[in-house]
Every structure is written in C-alpha cells, then in structure tokens.
Chain A
Amino acid sequence: MQLAVLAGFVTAGLAPLLHHWLGARTALAMALLPASLVLWLLWQWPLIAAGETLLLAWPWVPALEISLTFFLDGLAWLFALLICAIGALVLVYSGDYLRDDPAQPRFLVLIVAFMMAMLGLVLADNLVTLFIFWELTSLTSYLLIGFHHTDPAARKAALQSLMVTAGGGLALLAGLVMLALAGGSWSLAELAGRGDAVQDHALHGPLLVCVLLGAFTKSAQWPFHFWLPNAMAAPTPVSAYLHSATMVKAGIYLLARLHPVLGSSDAWVVTLTLVGGLTMALGACLAIRQTHLKILLAYSTVMALGAMTLLLGIGTRAALAAFIVFLVAHALYKGALFLVAGILDQATGTRDLTGMGGLRHAMPWTALVAGLAALSLAGLPPLLGFIGKEALFSAVLEAPLLRGIALSLAFLAALLTLAVAALILLRPFFGARREMPRRPREGSPAMLAGPALLAGLSLWLGLVPHGLEVLVTATVQGLGVREAAVHLTLWHGVTLPLGLSLASLLLGALVVRHWDGLRARSARLEPFMTLGPEGGYGALMRGWMRLAEAQTRWLQNGHLRSYLVMTLLVLLGLVGHALFVRNGLSRASMPSVQLHEALVAALMVSGAVTACLMRSRLAAVAALGAMGFSIALTFVLFSAPDLAITQLLVETLTVVLLALVLYRLPRFAILSTPLRRLRDLVVASLVGGLVGLLMLSVLGGERLPRISGYMIANGQPLGHGHNLVNVILVDFRALDTLGEIIVLGLAATGVFAMLCLRPGSAADRRDEGPGENDHG
C-alpha cells in the first residue's frame, strides 16, 4: 500500500511524459491507478466488515519514532474508498473537461499528487507522517486553486487558502507534538486507547486548541469558512474533488480520528457543537444569497462540513452513525452536483443561475442526474440524503449538551438547504428558456459517467441501505464505540424527525418562491460583509505587509553602522542582564602587579587610543604596531614564548601589508557629525566597559576545571614532544589546525582572485565614470 502511494507520486511526475505518448487518453490511463486501488480496497472489505484493522508497518526514521506505517480500519477504509473512487471518476471527467487545455499534463500531475497525499493522510498511523501528508494536501491544493495562474483572482484565492490552511497546519503541528507528549506515543492506533491519560494531562487545553485550529481551518469551519468559496477559482473537477469530497474532509477526518482520544471532554463537545452548528447555519444562509452556481455549491459544502462537525461534537453512537451516513451521502451528491455544474458551464458558457433556464430539453440526461443529486441534497426520500438528514435530526434530539441551540440551527440549515437544492434543480433546467452565451448541448459520455454513477449510488443506497449498515457499524466501532449495531431505514414511522423534515420542506418551498425578493433584500447587507472574518483576513495581511516593510526599512537600512549598533545594543542588553541581574558581580582579587607589566599595559592602551585619534594613516599604522608589540611583550611576560614569536612576526608582516595598501587609499576624512561621534563613543564605551566587567567577573568567579590537564600529562608520553603548545597544535587538536590552514589558504586565494583575476581593465574604467575614460 505504501508502495502504491509512493508509486502514485512517481506516476504523477510521469504525467507529462504519458501525455506526450497518449495525448488525450492520458487521464483515462492515469485513472487506472485509483481504480485499481478501489479494487484492492474492496478486496479488503471482508476484513473491515469483521471489524478488524490492517496494519502495514514500514519503519522510516526509527530513531525519531517516525514511521510510514499505514493502518486500515473502517474509518480509513471509507475515506480511502471515497478518495480513490471519486478520484478515478474525476480523472475520467477531467480528460474531457480539459481536452483542449494545453496545461492538462500539469493538471494531471497536481491532481494525482494531491490524491496520493490525501490517501497517505487518511492511512497514516504516525502523527508526523500524518502531518507531512496534511501539508502536502495544502500545497497541492494551493497549486490546483491557482491553476489558472494568469488570473490574478485565482492567484489571490490560492494564496488565501494556503495562508489559512498552512497557518492552521502550523497550529496542528504544535497540537500533534503536544498530543504525542501527552499520550506518550506517536502512533494513532496506540493513542486511541489512551484517551484518559491525554485528557488528564496538563497540556490537554493547549493541545485541544491547536488541533482544533488545524482541523477547523482545513475544513472551512467558521470563522475560517471564507477561503472555500474563493477557492472556486479552481477548475471545476478540482472543486468537485478537493472542495467537496476530499481535502476539506481532511479536517473532519482528523476530528473523527481523534474522537476516541479527545472526544469525551466537555470542551470538545461544546466547541464542536457550537462551531459546527454555527458553520452549518451560516453556510446555508450565505448559500441562499448566491447566484453563482459554484459558489452556491461551495457554501452548501460549508454547511455540510458544519453539520459533520456538529455530529462529531455530539459524539453519541447515533450521532457517529449519522456522521458516517451524512459523509457518504454528501460525497455522493456534492461530487455529482459539482461535476454537473462543470457540464453546465461548458454547455452554456455561464455559471450564473439567473442566466439559465429551460435546459431540460437540450440536456435531458444532465437534468436527470442533477435532479437525483439535488433531491439527495434536499434530503427527500427515497435518496440517501433523506436518511442522512433524518439521522442528523434524531442525533441532535439526543444531544447531551446544547440540544436547543443545535436543533434550531439544524432546522434552519435543513430548510435553507432544501431551498438551495430546489434552486439548483429548478433554475437551470425548468422554467422558460433563456438566451445563453453558448448553444447548450448534452455533455459527453465521459463527463456524464461520473456524476451519473454518483447520483445512481445515492438512489441505490437510499433504497437499499443495508449495504451501508455494515460499513457504518464497522466505522463507528473504529471510533471507539463498542456494541454499535446500526440500523438504517427509509421509513422510521411517524416520528419527530419526520415532522421536522416536513416542516422544513414547507418553509423551504416558501423561500424558493420568494428567492428573488430575499436576494434583493440581503443585497442591502452587502456593506456589512466586509466586517466579517474575510475582512479580518484582508486587514491582517495588509497590516503584516506594512509591518514587514516598516521593519525592513528600519532594520535593514544598508548601513553597516546601524547593524553593528543594533547588534551591540542587543548584546549589551542580554549580557548585561545576565551579568548584573542573574549572576551578580563578583569582585576579582587584586594579585600582585609589577611595574614593568603595568607599563606594558599602558603602552597597549596608548597605542590603541593613538590609532583611533591619528589623522595620518601611517601614524595610525605605527601606533597599531606599537600596540601589537606590547601584546607580544605580554605574551613573553606570561610564559607564552610561541605566542610572542608568532605575534611579533605577524605584526611585522601586517605593517608591510598595510604599508603596501594604505598609502594608496585616501586620507582619513572626518565624515561623521559630532553628535554621531558622541553616540558611537557612548556605544563603544558601554561595550568596552561590559567586556571589562565581564572579564573581571570571570576572573574573580569560580574557576571551572581545566581540560588541559590530560594534555599536560600526556604531551611527552603520548605526543613525544616537549613543547606542549606544538603537541596540541599538530597532534591532539590537529583537525582544528587543518581547518585553520584551510581558512588561511582560502583567504590567500581570495586575495589573489580579487587582485589578479580581474575582468579586463576596460570594464574597470567604465565604472570610474566617463570623465576618466582615456584608455582604449
């Protein structure tokens, strides 16, 4: 299985090559990969149905406890099946949809890579692996939304989705690390049994916040819902696949996967119920305002995602069962509707609902498919959507917390969704024919096959829900609920959920009737829409850019001096704090000072100060030389003959070097203002004082044990040398010395390159300005 995923990535990379050989049939060929994975998954079905899990171990970085282990239980099986099956259909569909697009190979690369990332995400057992695949989906999704990269709106939408989902991904990373610390394992399978330990851990609160942030951003929950409608800039197959069936469900998958670990705390239940309920109602309200078919569908997806979060929040057995049914139902009808929207778009040249009408004559098959899918969306019998909605209502009625709020939000969402479904079906296909940019014609078989299959499944599973029962039972078991026999049926008898369905049907019909008026009225709310989370996102991004610009202008101003001053001030602050506040000054004792030693020190100081004050360059060099020689004297006085000799020789060579160069440079000029010189003097004195105090403190403080005892003791016996310094240089620490002569060689090579390997002198002269250009 791991091989299949990895091979999938390789196949994705080969797509352009395949396209070169196979032309338009590439998409069909690529669809074989997910199709064969579907067959493999179906072959595993008996195992899953028996409630077993399949563990495919594959160590990756064992030292860091990172493995590529996959595990397949009911939940993973269901998601993997949806990903592969809908993926195969979308690939077949996109072969026709993008038939004339020269960028089709790029599209195939990205969508297959996305598919594999998604598959890895739902199968991963290791938290780190899960996160890697999670980020891969964000990344591929970014590239897919921005597929029409010449369109600024698409680029903006892609960046927005990346910012939101990758920002959430960072929070998720922190959350997963904390989860692993709290649970003591990086394996999801092991964590599932340690829910109590995690919830009693001190990190439980921050962990929950971070994980939920990751899941909510990915699954477009309020207040992060705004990126999903904008992501409709992507080609329609992408919208159908990523933004209805798979990627947005990654967050839902994560919530479901972590339900056994985190799901029993009140914080989890309340947060998920409230956020899910709000998202559900808001998604439905925003959907009904839209006339753009794809955006309308996107908001209805937001609504469905909210419903799933709500069900996971309630977390009872009935709610989890309803979650699975709703998930399957939504994937089937929403995939179908998006693909139909793509067909309509190509056939009519418009995506505006108010601009379409009477298409059922020109496109009868499309109308039939759309009708089935829309009825399922509306939650009308005998389709699967009806079972899902009934299950939703009965789960909400049993909710242990916040039952009233959840029920009213669910009812509002249901009636508006019904209206949305009716609009999608009635507006384009019924009513009077309208003028459209293109003459409508029926979609091609390859494009109709996908939505037809999905819509047909909606109908079949609605009529014969027993096949689904086993799956729901197995999956709910995987979510940590034992004895989970689930019974699904179309007819429950006359119950409260049925009453709610009927009421929502009536009210929904009213909404459809007065749709145009409602839209006109809601248009007046338009100015307030910028105040929402999307406005917040825009303000955040603008503020961020301004901050970046300001701090760049301030800190990165190109003046070496400012960098130095800034660095030194930070150094002063940190070291000073450590020295004075945390450590406290310790006084050095004053051992004997001999007069000639003090004179050498005074000579050193006067050399340095003279070098700073001299206006003449040669005098400055001479003062530096005096300082260097007094340093050599210090080495002589304090038992370092090797150092003294080296210092003397280097000083001599330095003077030669400076004499060679300096006299060809201009004289010193006073370039700085007195105020600036005073500032520099203050900074320099502060740093110098700090260094002096630091040294005094070090010298007066406790001496750490020396590490050179070994070298002193073994220099002669092991190193066969009597000069310990040299033994250290060429024997004990010869590797350091080798590094140092390499640096020396590099410096010499640099000098040589700068001086002798110069470009032709004509190029040099040009830099000096036209006035001096007197050479040919």
Chain B
Amino acid sequence: MVKSGTLILEVAARLLVPLQLLFSLFLLQRGHDAPGGGFIAGLVAAGGLALFLFAHGRQALRALLKVSPRDLVGLGLLIGVLSTLPAWWRGEPLFTAQWWRIPIVGLEISTPLIFDIGVYLAVIGSVLTAIIALVETDRDDTIR
C-alpha cells in the first residue's frame, strides 16, 4: 500500500489534491460566516493529502509538504496559543478576540481566524501523522 501503482489513481491524485487543498483553504476562510472552519478544512486537506500519499508514496508526500506532519501539529498548537496573546498584551483576558482591518486591501484579520488556522494545521498534522505511521508499519510488514 505504499504506492498504488495504478496510473488512474496517480493522475487523478495529481489533479485532485491541489483542488482539494484549495477547497480546504476556501472552507477555512469562509468558516466564520458559513459552514466550514478549521476542523472541517483540516479534515478535507488531510483527506486530500492521504489520497496523494496512497498514490505517490510517503517520499513524494514529504517532498510536497516540506515538513513532517508532526511539526504541523506543533505549529498548529503554537499558533493557537499565540493567538491568545494579543488580548493579553492589551490588558484584556486571554482569548478576547481582536480585530484589525488592513486599510488598502480591505481584508479583516482577527485572532479567531489565526486560531482557526492553528486548528486547521493541528488537525492536518494529527490525521496525517496517524496515517503515515500506519503506512510505515505496513511497509515493515511486507518486508517481513
């Protein structure tokens, strides 16, 4: 199960995975106003990456991600914790939401959005860590 070897899956994965990642980002961004959000977006992205993993193997996934999924877990948690700090710095209780508007683009940035990004990364990292670990042992078994 390291690499499927089927051409259809490989090609489909190449096409589908970028779409799925893009879709997940879209879900993440709109999550505050419509169904979606960090958990759902994270699961969609993890599903897409898992598809890529089955089609092209772990090395390819590693090359695509550039980082280990475990680092994603840590990064997600770190972002989640950091997003609580601006409120603290302004003398309000932790987790109090802060909103900033970037003047030129008209984009809104907020600590809840940053926090949701943390959730997104943590979910991707956790799911991929588990699946990759299982695929790894799978290869061990075939060698054995």
Contact = CB atoms under 8 A, between A and B. Distances in A.
Question: Do chains A and B directly touch (beta carbons under 8 Å) in the complex?
Answer: yes
Interface string A735-760: 10110011011011101101110000
A503 interface: no
Contact of B40 (A649, A657, A661, A744): A649
A641 interface: yes
A737 to B, nearest CB: 6
A656 interface: yes
Interface stretch (A16-24, A82-90, A166-174, A719-727): A719-727
B112 A730 contact: yes
Interface in B92-137: 94-95, 97, 99, 108, 110, 112-113, 115-116, 118-119, 122-123, 125-127, 129-131, 133-137
A669 interface: no
Given A660-B134, A661-B134, A720-B108, A649 B43 contact: yes
Contact of A734 (B31, B44, B95): B95
Contact of A741 (B94, B97, B108, B123): B123
A436 interface: no
A749 B77 contact: no
A726 B31 contact: yes
A451 B40 CA distance: 84
A745 B77 contact: yes
A556 interface: no
B32 interface: yes
B38 A752 contact: no
B15 interface: no
Nearest to A757: B133
A744 B138 CA distance: 23
Nearest to A741: B122
Nearest to B35: A641
A534 interface: no
Contacts of B47: 649, 652-653
A748 B43 contact: no
A661 B133 CA distance: 11
Contact of B73 (A718, A727, A734, A745): A745
A730 B37 contact: yes
Q: Which of B32, B34, B47, B113 has the most CB of A within 10 A?
A: B32
A646 interface: yes
A718 B108 CA distance: 14
Nearest to B129: A748
A755 B134 contact: yes
A731 B97 contact: yes
A723 B46 contact: no
Contact of B126 (A661, A731, A747): A747
Contacts of B36: 642, 645, 723, 726
B46 A729 contact: no
B84 A734 contact: yes
Contacts of B61: none
A726 B119 CA distance: 12
Contacts of B35: 641-642, 645, 723
Contacts of A720: 32, 97, 99, 108, 110
Question: Majority SS of interface residues in chain A?
Answer: helix
Contacts, number: 145
Interface string A647-667: 001101100110011001000
A641 B27 CA distance: 13
B137 to A, nearest CB: 5
Contact of A730 (B38, B74, B99): B38
Contacts of B130: 657, 747-748, 751-752
Interface residues of B, number: 52
B69 to A, nearest CB: 8
A773 to B, nearest CB: 13
Contacts of B39: 646, 729
Nearest to A734: B95
Contacts of B116: 726, 729-730
Contacts of A722: 32-34
A738 B80 contact: yes
Contact of B112 (A652, A657, A731, A755): A731
Contact of B115 (A642, A730, A742): A730
Interface in A168-201: none
Contacts of A749: 70, 73, 129
Given A720-B108, A721-B112, A726-B32, A744 B131 contact: no
B133 A752 contact: yes
Interface in A704-729: 718-723, 725-727, 729
A236 B50 CA distance: 77
Contacts of A718: 97
Given A642-B35, A720-B32, A745-B125, A660 B115 contact: no
B19 to A, nearest CB: 16
Interface string A761-776: 0000000000000000
Nearest to A641: B35
A653 B129 CA distance: 13
Nearest to B83: A734
Nearest to B122: A741
Interface string A364-383: 00000000000000000000
A641 B138 CA distance: 36
A723 B31 contact: yes
Nearest to B126: A748
Contacts of B12: none
B65 interface: no
B129 A752 contact: yes
B126 A653 contact: no
A744 B46 CA distance: 14
B1 interface: yes
A745 B33 contact: no
B133 A645 contact: no
A756 B132 CA distance: 10
A748 B44 contact: no
A656 B37 CA distance: 23
Interface string A625-655: 0000000000000000110011001101100
B43 A646 contact: yes
B112 A734 contact: yes
A726 B116 CA distance: 9
A650 B42 CA distance: 11
Q: Which of A642, A649, A744 has the most CB of B within 10 A?
A: A744
Nearest to A765: B144
A42 to B, nearest CB: 58
Q: Which of B74, B118, B134 has the most CB of A within 10 A?
A: B134
Give the top 3 A-B pairs by smallest Cβ distance, nearest first: A748-B126, A649-B43, A721-B32
29 contacts: A641-B35, A642-B36, A645-B40, A646-B40, A646-B43, A649-B47, A653-B127, A720-B97, A720-B108, A721-B33, A726-B31, A726-B36, A726-B37, A726-B116, A730-B119, A734-B84, A734-B95, A734-B115, A735-B95, A738-B115, A745-B74, A747-B126, A749-B70, A749-B129, A754-B133, A755-B133, A755-B134, A755-B137, A756-B133
Interface of A: 641-642, 645-646, 649-650, 652-653, 656-657, 660-661, 664, 718-723, 725-727, 729-731, 734-735, 737-738, 741-742, 744-745, 747-749, 751-752, 754-756
Given A645-B36, A653-B47, A741-B122, 16 more contacts: A649-B40, A652-B47, A660-B135, A660-B138, A721-B112, A730-B113, A730-B119, A737-B119, A741-B77, A741-B119, A745-B126, A748-B69, A749-B129, A751-B129, A754-B133, A755-B137
